[in-house]
Chain A
């Protein structure tokens, strides 16, 4: 627990290093939780996300870099240029561990460097160095160049897309990404090309012997789960097939919810060279593909594929690799291009705007559009505005946008069938995102009712299409995912994300105690999850979010699904509003979705 917090003033080239107060650790842990507190503390309300007044925060999880199960993860936080509210991305790979080995758990970047710069982290020091030679390089070229110049190091970089302020530009490290919400554009706006961690220190473990013994027993439990074995063997792409089979895959901007059988994950696996893993991972879910990239994963397969009408799976591998090289969030890229394709088909935009016809499944055009987005050229320059492109397309275009709070939906799973999923994306703190609170166990129709009750509490209807009790499932998932994100542990080993077993609050508490000397009981750890959800809500309320923003795309209310199992399903407005009431009550929020004054006071007391 000895890692430090650094505050880097890019404008004046100064760095201050501080210890992390214990009250922050006890109430927000690290990673996403502590980053959210720091974002609330350091950002003034209402600033332009692409101005120097925004902050860019890197934060490693409490267990990141320790030999805990799949504990590689870290977060970048900022005000999102895509949504205008809380923005963050969670990333695996090796940078989080390297950052801690260099002596830092959290770093807050403020201001804007006069010229392109990068931050070198080494031995508890941060040095700002000129990055003119790296400016203009894509995410792979830049990282290779840093390795050549600095020797052994881990880097987190933005690509040209970040430099040119594409609103869904990602931060990339190795082959991984912190993709969501436009962190790459915030880096670009600050003239910050990269963070390079060259440390060779160690991440201290509080009770090394006890931790090792406990982790060993946990390893067998986690790695022995069937889910872990499946993901390690075939990765996530096959999950696309499952969503397609039940007719819940977002297709052609959600005008359809199932897609041609010829488009499937088998071809993706044919392009797989080997499976790879992040630091300390038991799962190794990632494909290294024959085109020298990684992926595509399930979300990318759906959104750059079915959502844009692509019929050949191998084309998605190429589109995925392009997005990664450019440093673009594949979820936003696929959502925004699919949206534009529908607008063109409906005549809401025409060739005067798009320069050339825009047709479903036009692989060549998609490749060119991704290039244009990266360089902010032509029509791609407008698409690089993400949901802000409504400004160019007109108010009618908003009706066809699959986004919440300005963030395109991350998951290619259509939310009209499983009602809890719809509530989840409506209330997620960074906009339409499944990684905040998706109660995946809703699909486990074979899960006995008593097991489900033990997890979520009484009253959650077994039927995924029922609205009854679903707010409980979302609120539970909110809290446990916030806790696991803050520990730096991957959701693939988190209880409730893919399995009713895995690392639950009790096991998290044991890991925090043995790894970092922090004592929680299960209830206390869930309360920390709640703190994190509430500080994120407080940030968004301060930025102007209201109950009206906790909603879902119009199409999900008004149009039925088209798939074999899901045909005709949609979300009923009155029942959705009742779920929202129930959710607010469970969270202790008011009927308007605000926090009671005493709760605000308590949270601000932690600052």
Chain B
């Protein structure tokens, strides 16, 4: 838990939602996902929920990207790494995404 900052208040209560239940977030893709999707940054509206729900929504909307992000049975692939508003996060993390959140998707592979 952390104290609610003014930035949170503005994002959560003053940015108007596009329509009921949907949430608009900024999705940033790093390579190789940006190569697959053909874009690097997008505003994405989805039905709300956790990071897992966002990944599933991305998989539906961008099937080629979905093949990279989701493993067998539609579960998020273990080789997907996520930043939520600049902090490391996992798709199983419980909190629902808020309007205006930024999610960065990358692969945790590292070089030799």
Contacts and interface: CB of A to CB of B under 8 A. Distances in A.
Interface of A: 226-227, 230-231, 233-234, 236, 238-243, 245-246, 265, 297-299, 411, 413, 435, 438, 440-441, 443-448, 451, 462-464, 490-492, 497-500, 564-565
Contacts of A231: 109
Given A241-B30, A265-B31, A299-B111, A446 B86 contact: no
A446 B91 contact: yes
8 tightest A-B CB contacts, nearest first: A298-B111, A443-B108, A236-B111, A239-B111, A238-B31, A445-B90, A498-B109, A440-B110
Which residue of B82, B83, B112 has the most chain A CB atoms within 10 A of its CB atom? Answer: B112
Given A227-B109, A239-B111, A445-B108, A245 B81 contact: no
A238 B89 CA distance: 21
A565 B91 CA distance: 18
B82 A446 contact: yes
Contacts of A498: 109-110
A447 B78 CA distance: 5
B78 A245 contact: no
B111 A446 contact: no
Given A242-B107, A297-B111, A491-B112, A234 B32 contact: yes
A443 B31 contact: no
Given A234-B31, A245-B30, A445-B88, A451 B111 contact: no
B78 A413 contact: no
B55 to A, nearest CB: 10
B2 interface: no
A227 B108 CA distance: 9
Given A234-B35, A565-B83, A565-B88, A446 B76 contact: yes
Nearest to A410: B112
A364 B80 CA distance: 40
17 contacts: A227-B109, A233-B32, A233-B35, A238-B30, A239-B111, A242-B107, A242-B109, A246-B83, A298-B110, A435-B112, A440-B109, A444-B81, A445-B89, A446-B92, A462-B90, A565-B83, A565-B87
B45 interface: no
B77 interface: yes
Contacts of B92: 446
Nearest to B87: A565
A119 B3 CA distance: 69
Contact of A438 (B35, B89, B110): B110
Contacts of A499: 79, 109
A510 B78 CA distance: 26
A435 B80 CA distance: 23
Interface in B64-82: 68, 76-82
Contacts of A246: 83, 88
Contacts of B109: 227, 230-231, 239, 242, 440, 498-499
Given A234-B32, A564-B86, A245 B106 contact: yes
Interface string B13-39: 000000000000000001110010000
B74 to A, nearest CB: 14
A451 B76 CA distance: 15
Interface string B91-104: 11000000000001
Contacts of B88: 246, 445, 463-464, 565
Given A231-B109, A451-B78, A499-B79, 11 more contacts: A230-B109, A233-B32, A238-B30, A238-B31, A242-B30, A245-B30, A265-B31, A411-B111, A492-B112, A498-B110, A565-B88
A440 B77 CA distance: 17
A297 B80 contact: no
Contacts of B106: 242, 245
B29 to A, nearest CB: 11
A440 B108 contact: yes
Contacts of A411: 111
A89 to B, nearest CB: 13
Contacts of B89: 445
Contacts of B30: 238, 241-242, 245
B12 to A, nearest CB: 21
Contacts of B111: 236, 239-240, 297-299, 411
Nearest to A463: B88
A241 B90 contact: no
B81 A445 contact: yes
B87 to A, nearest CB: 6
A209 B77 CA distance: 35
- Max chain B C-beta neighbours (<10 A), residue from A227, A241, A444: A444
B35 to A, nearest CB: 7
Contacts of B68: 226
Contacts of A440: 108-110
A263 to B, nearest CB: 14
Given A239-B109, A245-B106, A413-B110, A444 B31 contact: no
Contact of A500 (B78, B81, B91, B112): B78
A230 B112 contact: no
A443 B81 contact: yes
A490 B109 CA distance: 15
